[in-house]
Structures are given as C-alpha cells and as structure tokens.
Structure 1
C-alpha cells in the first residue's frame, strides 16, 4: 500500500493491469529530518574532497612531462572515472536533501542506474589494466616502454569503456520492459539495479539471469587477471637477491594493491551485508564505502606514497599560487 504523504503519479496503460510510472522515491540513508543537515554537510565535504583530489591528480600529471608514462596515463583515466562515478550518485542525493524531496523521475532513475553501472564497470576494468601494467613493469622492466607503448595503452582503455557502456545499456534496456507496482520506494540514496528489479511486478527471471551471468563474467575475469598478475609479480620479486630491490619492486605496486583491496573489499562487503541482513537501509549505508569513500581515498593513496606525484603536485600548487 502507498504510504500517506508520498506523491506518486501513475498512468494506466492499455492493458489495464499495469501502470506506467513517472517517479520513484529514494528513501536515502535516513528519514530522520534532524539528521539531514548533518548528512548534507558530510556528503558535500566528501564529494568536494573526491572531486578536487582527483582533479589535482589529473592536472598534476598533465602539467608534468616526466609523468607522461603508461602508469600515469591509466591513473588519469581512473581519476576521471572516479569523479564521474561519485557525481552520478552523490549530486542527486545532495539535491534531494536540499530541496527536501525524495522523488526521482522514471527516466532519471534509469539514467542514473545506467551511468552508475558504466563508471563502476570502468573502474573495475581500469584496475585490471593497471595490474597488467604493474606486471610488465616488474617482470619485464627492460621491455616495459616497448610493450606498454601509447597505442597499446589506448587499446586497453577504449575496450574497457566500450564493454562498460554495452553492459550498462543491456541491463537498462532490459529494465525498460518491466512494469512496476504501486510501491515505488527505493531504500537507497541512488537507483541501483538490484533495488529497481525488486520493485517490478512483471517477471524478472531473464533480468536476474542476465545480472548473474554478466556480473560473474565482468567480476571473475578481471579479478582473476589481477590475481594472476600479482602472483607473477610476487614470484619475480622473490627472485630478486637484494632487499632494496625487493622493496623498490613492491613500492611500484603498493598504491595500486591498496586501491584494489579497497575497491573489491568494500564491494564484497556490500554484497555480503545485503545477503546477511534483511535491512536494505543497512546495505545502503555500507555501499557508501565503495561509492564515495574509496574514490575519495584514491588520490591520497596514489599521491602520498609516490614521490614523483608529490613533486608534481607541489609544482602545480606553486604555479597556481604564483599566477594569483
């Protein structure tokens, strides 16, 4: 039954037993009115840190010729993806809190869901590409620049983007065929595919099969690639006789390994929490980790552990200060 106070608009279709909806209701992380200013301030702060941090990474790499290497090319793409990834979910949440309206249009919900899957998938594939880059750097250092030439780098990033777009479009087009019931409340702060499917009145068997197949393929294959790359890296590092050489080899991969652990750790955490608890609201709170916190932490991880990046950031900040 529809809860009082919520304005939902429905239009009858020709079949008479289905409804064409115009809005969903995003319940957010909490319905407590007193918590809304706190949530707005917290998420605005995290969003600005995420955007400014990743933007500084992109500008620092672009302005320093010494950083025009394959590793930083992939890092630039990852930073841009993280900005878009966070913007897709957080901006709508901030607008809803500010306007005190939890509504999102049907078209807006599907659009947000589509872009969320594009950038989440691109994040996943870029981390896999970066693992391969680290594998070549550690295991084949003498041939690194020959193997990771600009053409190959572009060929690794472009298919990642195309695969992510096709995956998102496939799920979105399959969602368009669904009809929805009168209860259109999504217990989340953004439109996620799993929650949208739960609201459907029509048969979602094909959608669920597609989700399991594609998720298994785009989840298992990239993760397997990362594990294989790091298995080879560890094997090569252990053969290095000097302790200094081992430390240098591990330092090359340290930042990327931390980011991979955060991304997959928080992703699996959301999946396990949603399977273990019946509370969708708790699952939404946990999902903040991989949708907001992880993209926000990436610039710190890649800059604080990297002398070249810190040097480029200092030069960039000095140049900006001098211009003013």
Structure 2
C-alpha cells in the first residue's frame, strides 16, 4: 500500500449534495419506540446508510478522490449501553457492510473516521471516560465491519480531550483495545491542545499527530498560515507517522480571515508549508465543491489562491 501523488485531497463525509447525505434518528425519538419498532427503524436506517456509503465509494472513484472521511454518525444507537439492537441489526447487514468497504478498497481509496468531540478519554469524570471508551470502541468496530485494516492507514482521529490532562491521555492509550489503538491519531485544537502540548503524547505513545494549521493559527493568534511555525509543525508531525508517506493534515480557511474559527465555503489559501504533504483532508463548508476546485487547480497547474472564498 502506497500513498497517492502529492497531495491527495480528501472529502469530508457530510455533503451539500444528495449523493452521500446520511440519515439519523435522535435518542429521544428512539426511546419512545417499542423493541420491535426500534429494530425495524434501525434496519431501515442502517441499510440505507450502508447503501449510501457504497455510493460514496463510486462518487469518489469517479472523481479521482483518493481520501474519504467516513461519517461517525452512520449507525446511531449502535453504542447505547444495555441495548444491543444496533449490533444485532449490523450483524444482519454484514454482507452489505463488507461489500461497501470492499468498494473503497477496490478503488484504492483511503478511508478515515473522526468521531465527535464529546469523546473525552482523559476526562476527570469517570462516567465520561466510560462512555467515551464505549463510543470509541463502537467506531472501531464499525471500521472492522467494513473490513478496513487496523492501522493508521484507516485512521481513527481524536482531539486531545480535557485540557491539562496530557499525562492521563498518554497513560491510557497503551491499554486501549487493538481495534482503537492501532488506528488512533491525535489532532491539535483551538483551545486545549496546541502542537506543543500534543506532540509529546504522540511521540511517547507511537500515535501519529494530525496537524491542523487553521487551529494552530487561531490558538496562537498568528497572522496567517504562512507563519514559519506552520512548516516546523508539519515536519514535527511527519516524524510521528510510520511510514511518513501516510501523513495526513487538515486544511481549512477562516470564513472572514485567518482568526475566524468558522470554515470558509471554498479554500482560497493552501499554506506553502503543505507543499509536500501527501494526504490533505479538506474541511470546507462547500465539501465536494471545494474539493473539485482544489483538484481542478492542481490538474491545471494553477495556484490555489485563484479559488475565491464564498459564503
């Protein structure tokens, strides 16, 4: 398995179009259903979402997209404590799930997952740690069911979690289940964990560091993503990837300037520090439109800054 030509831009799961939009159900709605109704509802919902994942593989393959972020909301209620309805439904749908995963593998598309930020493994509250571990294990089980390998090729990405508890995070990582630990990556954020706080955790545990320049600029109040520290952190992060050719970074622009936490619709600026990064996940509100603009500029040999930011 090798990386694509530099860079391979990645599509984030949620989409502005109908092709890959996934269905869900709220917990309050689910709880009013009878056991039989719950099973029927999840069977309908899961089967539809799996079919959409299969279409997502076709969507990406047809457009030359080599990196795809799988939604972490594909199977709502799958991680509920004391309720195995979702697990039983997925067992029933195993052939369809395997076929959807195989479609990505056949097309040579790398698949990642970035669970919700409410997963805080190093919380100072035991009940949050317990629920976070259960939810993360369910996401890893999802990747297993699709047949994605237990390595950082099929990354399972988290933020650092509770601020000031980097030591606690580092201490618990070695004891995570293999399905989680072997895929785990960590990303800097805008508040609790900048690169300086997160890199030692990654170095000490063997977990790769996914660098996000936009988060870094906002947290450190830097003028823009051309700050020299961006390149320094790209290279530092690369040293945590084994092999380094699998390195992933996140790309986004602020809606109304570098310090704006909100993501722009398209990507106007690609930091020079990313020039040799092999895998770039594009976090823009325009989703596939933003990706198409970047890939079009790349194919034409144009500078990315010709792509206008719109809202």
- Tell whether the structures are fold-level matches, with TM greater than 0.5: no
TM-score bracket, shorter-length normalisation: under 0.3
Rg (Cα) greater in structure: 1
Task: Name whichever structure is richer in strand by fraction.
Answer: 2
- TM-score after normalising by structure 1: 0.25
Task: Name whichever structure is richer in helix by fraction.
Answer: 1
Select the structure with the greater relative contact order (CA < 8 A; seq sep ≥ 6). Answer: 1
